[in-house]
Amino acid sequence: MRTSLDLCVCLLTLCVTTLEQTGPGVKVVVKEDSDAVLPCSLSPKEDITGEIFHWRKDESQKEVFFYDSGIHYNNDLTGQDQQFKGRVSHFQNQLKNGDASIKINNTKMADSGNYSCFFPGLQPRQTFNIELVVEPILRDRSGEIPGASPKPYVTSLDETKDRSLLQCEVLEASPKPKVEWQDSTGNILPAEEPQVSERGGSYYVTLNTTVTKTGHYRCVATQEDINHQIYSETYVHLNESMFGIYCGEGVLVKMQGMPHQSVVDMTALKSEGCISRAGAGNILPAEEPQVSERGGSYCVTLNTTVTKTGRCRCVATQEDINHQTSAETFLIISAAVH
């Protein structure tokens, strides 16, 4: 029959056995360029502020992080591997709880691997194993990986008042890239059949599309095999006959276009008369405003001609009711879009 003393000895032996075991492996999965927290905590919890803990990576034993009673790689200690310099930190406030976890900022693919956290000052020595998996994302890797596509070259081949033919050229890419035209919201645009040629293992791709609306457009080159994606963006301004209609409190503002001229896109109404403003707030000269009244509301049309590319703003002010509103447009004057 087992005595109480025997039971105590058995429990003590069980505790010692647990301490001697290497900590169970933990797998941490993060996306590239995000932060990763690698856990390492004693159980039961005890204050390790005055202890030593050491982090290393893989069989090469790269120095990741070392802490010794307040001295570590982020203050006076040297010897950290260049791969981790300036990117690894610990949780100072959690040391009293036995937490020796670290955080690796802005993870890279090269950070994937097996990490060990151990306490050489404890008897017996404890070691925790953590596997870090950094999953790749599509991003610009030009200059990092041979064959990664450089920034696409975008130009306008032909433009009329209601359409623009855009061309995108991707040069010296390997493996073969997927090339797409997208609008400002990321929608893929219909395009002509791509022209593809291969020279010495590198691919050259030309893709044309026709757009019919003013806006931002981008050409995107993607090489999924090497997790590389890069794009170039262009702004297209088409001289449409009508920019749009804006309705404000008591004011109906009509935005008009004129052949071979650019027009500020909103009327400014004041009790003394009408004004238009450029991007810097300077008042622009304008034609005599056209004002009409409909059922107690005013319809005002104000035209102005500008000669320089830039951002223009038109301001509508109703001082009697302390109301002011504005709208802006970006104007490109006699310039091809690249």
CB-based contacts of 220: which residues, under 8 Å, 6+ apart? Answer: 152, 179, 180, 181, 182, 229, 230, 231
What is the pLDDT at residue 16? 27
Lowest mean pLDDT among 120-129, 157-166, 215-224, 316-325: 316-325
Domain boundary among 236, 269, 296: 236
What is the mean predicted confidence (pLDDT) over 245-250? 32
267 has a pLDDT exceeding 50: no
Residues 228 and 203 in one domain: yes
Cα 166 to Cα 119, 185, 336, distances in angstroms: 62, 18, 11
pLDDT in tens, 47-104: 999 999 999 999 889 999 999 999 999 997 999 999 999 999 999 999 999 999 999 9
What is the mean predicted confidence (pLDDT) over 320-336? 66
The one-letter amino acid at 37 = V
The pLDDT confidence band at residue 295, using thresholds 50, 70 and 90, is: low
pLDDT in tens, 31-54: 999 999 999 999 888 999 999 999
22 has a pLDDT exceeding 70: no
13 lies in a domain?
Answer: no
Most confident of 6-15, 115-124, 319-328: 115-124
Residues 196 and 301 in one domain: no
Q: Evaluate the omega torsion of the peptide bond into residue 44 and state whether it is cis, within 30 degrees of 0.
A: yes
What is the mean predicted confidence (pLDDT) over 8-18? 30
261 has a pLDDT exceeding 80: no
Q: What is the CATH number of the domain that holds 202?
A: 2.60.40.10
Cα 308 to Cα 176, 241, 274, 303, 335, distances in angstroms: 41, 20, 22, 16, 10
Residues 190 and 129 in one domain: no
What is the mean predicted confidence (pLDDT) over 14-28? 49
What is the pLDDT at residue 136? 95
5 lies in a domain?
Answer: no
Higher pLDDT, 70 or 277: 70
DSSP assignment letter at 287: P
Mean pLDDT, all residues of the chain: 79
Structure tokens belonging to residue 261? 């001229």
258 has a pLDDT exceeding 90: no
141 lies in a domain?
Answer: no
What is the mean predicted confidence (pLDDT) over 270-275? 33
Rounded CA separation 32/167 (Å)? 32
Contact 62, 55 (CB under 8 A): no
313 lies in a domain?
Answer: yes
Residues 191 and 246 in one domain: no
Structure tokens belonging to residue 5? 């003393």
Helix extents (H) in 226-285: none
- Beta bridge partners, 269, equal 274
Structure tokens belonging to residue 223? 């090489």
16 lies in a domain?
Answer: no
Residues 121 and 98 in one domain: yes
Pick the closest to residue 207 from 231, 179, 183, 178 (CA basis).
Answer: 179
Higher pLDDT, 128 or 271: 128
pLDDT in tens, 139-192: 999 989 999 999 999 999 988 888 999 999 999 999 999 999 999 999 999 999
Contact 45, 98 (CB under 8 A): yes
Residues 39 and 108 in one domain: yes
Residues 57 and 87 in one domain: yes
Domain boundary among 204, 236, 268: 236
148 lies in a domain?
Answer: no
Residues 231 and 293 in one domain: no
What is the pLDDT at residue 181? 98
The pLDDT confidence band at residue 248, using thresholds 50, 70 and 90, is: very low
Residues 160 and 100 in one domain: no
Domain boundary among 195, 214, 236: 236
Q: Which 3 state secondary structure label does DSSP give 4?
A: helix
225 lies in a domain?
Answer: yes
Parent domain of 308 = 242-331
Rounded CA separation 53/44 (Å)? 16
Token pair 């070259």: residue: 153
Q: How many CA atoms are closer than 13 Å to the CA of 171, on its beta-carbon side? A: 5
The one-letter amino acid at 79 = G
Could you tell me whether strands 195-199 and 202-211 are parallel, antiparallel, or unpaired per DSSP bridges?
antiparallel
Rounded CA separation 141/228 (Å)? 5
Residues 100 and 180 in one domain: no
Structure tokens belonging to residue 179? 């090339």
What is the pLDDT at residue 332? 65
338 lies in a domain?
Answer: no
Higher pLDDT, 104 or 22: 104
pLDDT in tens, 217-227: 999 999 999 99
Residues 249 and 231 in one domain: no
Number of structural domains the chain divides into: 3
Residues 189 and 290 in one domain: no
DSSP assignment letter at 10: H
